[in-house]
Structure 1
Amino acid sequence: MNLGIKNLDKRRWIVLIAGCFINLCLGSIYVWSVFSAGMADYFTNTLGKTVTSADLAIVYTIANSVGPITMISGGWFNDKFGPRKVILIGGIMWGLGMFLSGFATNVNGLILTYGLIGGLGLGMAYGSTISTCVKFFPDKRGLVGGITTAVYGLSSVILPPIVTVIVAKTNATTAFKIVGIVFMVLIAVSVIFLEKCPDDYTPAGFTPKKTAAVKQNMNWKEMLKTPTFYVMLLLLTCGAFTGMMITSQASSVAQHMVGLSAVAASLAVSVLALFNALGRIVAGFVSDKIGRINTLFLACILAVIGLLCLYFSGMGTVTLFYIGLSIVGISYGAFMGVYPGFTADQFGPKNNSVNYGIMFIGFAIAGYFGPQIMGQTFAKTGAYQNAFIYAIVFSVVGILFTFIYRLVAKKNK
């Protein structure tokens, strides 16, 4: 539909709201721990197959790992033809994967349904949703990138209690089926309100910076030829490393390092998730004011401060632990919230779905090595302190990359 600028200025807010509803559904991947415990109990006590939650961790790992594949491929279709069909297909795959998981009778069944079908659908819909919303807000890219990614993260706070109740009143298999159907319906309805942003769209009263015109609308091949891309990719890896490392084992850290009970440790997970979401919105807003790279520089500084608080935490130092956890959450959220807009600023909005999908590989790298280093460190030493030192090194390297980015950007300019 060809809409006038004034109408588009209003419609873009509807697109943003619809995108947030979709991301809330997609963020349910963070509810895996609830499903995992329930399915382990189902396999063991109902089917007579001894399976633990640890045995099911591979399902969650695969679901996260395959996402970048469809973020890139689905992003290409999104940039060319618009978001409706791409996000609808991705959303249905995510909901269908969950629904079919309710019929799984072994770990391999969950790998196929939740890990592959669901994970591939999640990547396709998530990348396209964020990119679509960011394209409509060239005047607020940081803020909108922060909001859309924050809603995705808030699923880890909002949805677990709801799914827990469903599992308690029925069982994990029924919960999978119910949640899968609900999500397919919600996403299908939400995509009706999405539309393709015109390539030349500029909101009323907004004048793009003249210096940005040189960088507009590179395709992925052109992007990969620039040194800026590799600096940004490595910066994202360093920035996301701390968050991915601690998020993977926040409950265990709270119990073994500070001495919190399992119930109290679950609060630590929620606190980290809340400050993660807060960091995405605040950093996105701030980056619109002071610049993306300045915001990411501050995020790296915060990560070092938060990690030092965690390093010096010990049994009974609950306050210091929560301060460190909160600061780390804000820092991690800053990178997740700023990077969609940062990528569009640097390489143009037209092909941002594909470009951001490729840039997201930096996040995937951090998502693999962060938890691995955290787990191996604890296995070898029985403590987490050394892992925090490794993360501090990554954050310091991230600070260096912010300066390298400035040098490269200045040279290109």
Structure 2
Amino acid sequence: MSVKSPNRWLILLSGVLINMCVGASYAWSVYQKPLIDMFKWSTNEVSLAFTLSFGLVPLAMIIAGKFQDQQGPKRVIFWGGVIYSSGIIGAGFTTSLSFLYMTYGVLCGLGIGTIYTCTVANTVKFFPDKRGLASGLVVAGFASGAVILAPLSSTLIEAYGVLNTFKLLGCAYLLIISVCTLLVETAPPDYRPAGWNPPAPSTAAIVGTDKNWREMLVDPTFYILWGMYTIGCVSGLMVIGHASPIAQEVIKLDSQTAAMAVSFLALANTAGRILWGWVSDKIGRYNAVMIMFILAGAMMFAMTKVSTLLPFMAVLMTVGLCYGGVMGVFPSITADMFGSKNLGVNYGIIFTAFGAAAVIGPRLASHFKELNSGDYNQAFLISAGLSIIGILLTCIAQYKKKKSVTVEEAF
């Protein structure tokens, strides 16, 4: 473009920092046990707040994606930050389950989705030359929040209690998001970085034409991708939602060590988004997803066998690495298949798969834990079995992609 373009790396940095704040929601399992101990609620009752929060993210993404197209990302991200921070602060005044569900569940979920769709869609548009890496980095910010916040939250909970911790962190998130929003710029239409020209189409890569959400929903590939995304998130969300209780009740770790395990899980989640985003640029999106399903399925089966710290950490971090990879690669898969023009809304719709996984994964774990007197193994085995279905769906998606390339070459 002839006019001076915004600094895309600064915009990427702001997106990473903003997503770190909303990504603190991945540290939920650190808050769960203190809430259970304080109010004497059951695991099923308390974990529903986490399920609500993540389950509402896709709805907010679809709505916010539409507003972003009309008003730009800056304003939408700011108000998303206000909603999210209000939910965290409000959780600090919890006196009942319904209040916890409304604050941490509903408000946080709506705030996360509002922010996430804008930071991801807008940033990816600035990096047509490094789409996989850029989407991996910006969603890595979302995952990395818990790396810092899990041990910090545990320390604050011990010093001030869980409710005061919510209040303190909520105020901090509001300040950080508001400041970082000032750096956000709207991606120009058909943005190209200086000196870069799109490569010629090849059989190794097929870039989808721009489709709106209606056109996307009549494409059978959408439903294959939706199923892949759901299954790819189930294992990770199951473990993330219960990591601290599993560490304390199954592996017999103390609360501080369990919080550190959550932090390492978040670190693997973060690394997976960057690593697999880069790998997918090299070996192809579907090849990368196939490897992730194989690893995740093997690790969820291995989770039924571990009973000591080091094997537990190895399994935990591998699951986090694969889950992060799925989250990092799917914005690029969506853009590759359905174009970048309507990515905010389209990815929000595909992200409903994440909402389904947010219900399935954590609820499976809490259900079988209570049904089997604290034993999570049945849930782990079901998750491992789902990974096999994920592998089959990925094979179908690869076949359809190759068939599409062959048809295009014929013309």
TM over 0.5: yes
Change (3 A) 1:269 1:117: closer
Q: What's the counterpart of residue 266 of structure 2?
A: 273
Is residue 2:394 matched to residue 1:402? yes
Please list the CA deviations of residues 56-94 of structure 1 after superposition, one character each: whole Å capped at 9, or x if unmatched: 433332222222111001011113331011111111111
Is residue 2:297 matched to residue 1:304? yes
Q: What's the counterpart of residue 325 of structure 1?
A: 316
Residue of structure 1 aligned with 2:98, choices 108, 122, 133? 108
Residue of structure 2 aligned with 1:335, choices 326, 336, 345? 326
Residue of structure 2 aligned with 1:144, choices 124, 131, 134? 134
Q: What's the counterpart of residue 90 of structure 1?
A: 80
CA contact (8 A) 2:53 2:106 kept: yes
Cα distance in 1 for partners of 2:383, 2:43 equals: 27
Change (3 A) 1:281 1:308: same
Q: What's the counterpart of residue 341 of structure 2?
A: 350
Worse overlay, 254-263 or 242-251: 254-263
Cα distance, 1:310 vs structure 2:
2.4
Q: What's the counterpart of residue 281 of structure 2?
A: 288
Residue of structure 1 aligned with 2:7, choices 8, 11, 24? 11
Cα distance, 1:215 vs structure 2:
1.9
Please list the CA deviations of residues 319-375 of structure 1 after superposition, one character each: whole Å capped at 9, or x if unmatched: 333322222221111101111111111111111111111111111212211222233
Is residue 2:377 matched to residue 1:385? yes
Change (3 A) 1:351 1:188: same
CA contact (8 A) 1:79 1:352 kept: no
Cα distance in 1 for partners of 2:104, 2:368 equals: 29
Q: What's the counterpart of residue 189 of structure 1?
A: 179
Cα distance, 1:154 vs structure 2:
1.4
CA contact (8 A) 1:257 1:315 kept: yes
Cα distance, 1:54 vs structure 2:
6.1
Cα distance in 1 for partners of 2:133, 2:342 equals: 20
Worse overlay, 121-130 or 56-65: 56-65
CA contact (8 A) 1:134 1:145 kept: yes
Q: What's the counterpart of residue 47 of structure 1?
A: none
SS in 2 for 1:304: helix
Please list the CA deviations of residues 200-249 of structure 1 after superposition, one character each: whole Å capped at 9, or x if unmatched: 11123333344478623211111111111111111111211221222222
Change (3 A) 1:97 1:314: closer
Q: What's the counterpart of residue 25 of structure 2?
A: 29
Q: What's the counterpart of residue 191 of structure 2?
A: 201
Change (3 A) 1:192 1:65: same
Query: Which amino acid in the other structure matches residue 322 of structure 1?
Result: M
Cα distance in 2 for partners of 1:89, 1:366 equals: 26
Cα distance, 1:174 vs structure 2:
4.0
CA contact (8 A) 1:306 1:326 kept: no
CA contact (8 A) 2:86 2:170 kept: yes
Cα distance in 2 for partners of 1:160, 1:262 equals: 11
Please list the CA deviations of residues 276-322 of structure 1 after superposition, one character each: whole Å capped at 9, or x if unmatched: 111111001111111111111111121133234324x2444x43333
Please give the residue correspondences for 1:157-176 in structure 2 after superposition, counting only pairs within 5 Å: 157-176=147-166
CA contact (8 A) 1:378 1:384 kept: yes
Q: What's the counterpart of residue 371 of structure 1?
A: 362
CA contact (8 A) 2:151 2:256 kept: no
Cα distance in 2 for partners of 1:177, 1:241 equals: 30
CA contact (8 A) 2:83 2:110 kept: yes
Cα distance in 2 for partners of 1:182, 1:380 equals: 39
TM-score (normalizing by structure 1):
0.88
Change (3 A) 1:168 1:302: closer
Cα distance, 1:188 vs structure 2:
1.5
CA contact (8 A) 1:81 1:196 kept: no
CA contact (8 A) 1:95 1:180 kept: yes
Change (3 A) 1:166 1:338: same
Query: Which amino acid in the other structure matches residue 96 of structure 2?
Result: N
Q: What's the counterpart of residue 235 of structure 1?
A: 228
Cα distance in 1 for partners of 2:162, 2:369 equals: 31
Structure 1: runs of 5 or more not aligned: 45-49
Change (3 A) 1:52 1:374: closer
SS in 2 for 1:215: coil
Query: Which amino acid in the other structure matches residue 274 of structure 1?
Result: L
Change (3 A) 1:102 1:371: closer
CA contact (8 A) 2:47 2:362 kept: no
Is residue 2:119 matched to residue 1:126? no
Change (3 A) 1:265 1:178: closer
Query: Which amino acid in the other structure matches residue 119 of structure 1?
Result: G
SS in 2 for 1:207: coil
Cα distance, 1:270 vs structure 2:
2.5
How many residues were matched structurally?
401
Cα distance, 1:379 vs structure 2:
3.6
Change (3 A) 1:310 1:177: closer
Cα distance in 1 for partners of 2:372, 2:37 equals: 31
Cα distance in 2 for partners of 1:32, 1:302 equals: 25
Structure 2: runs of 5 or more not aligned: 406-411
Percentage of matched positions with identical amino acids: 37
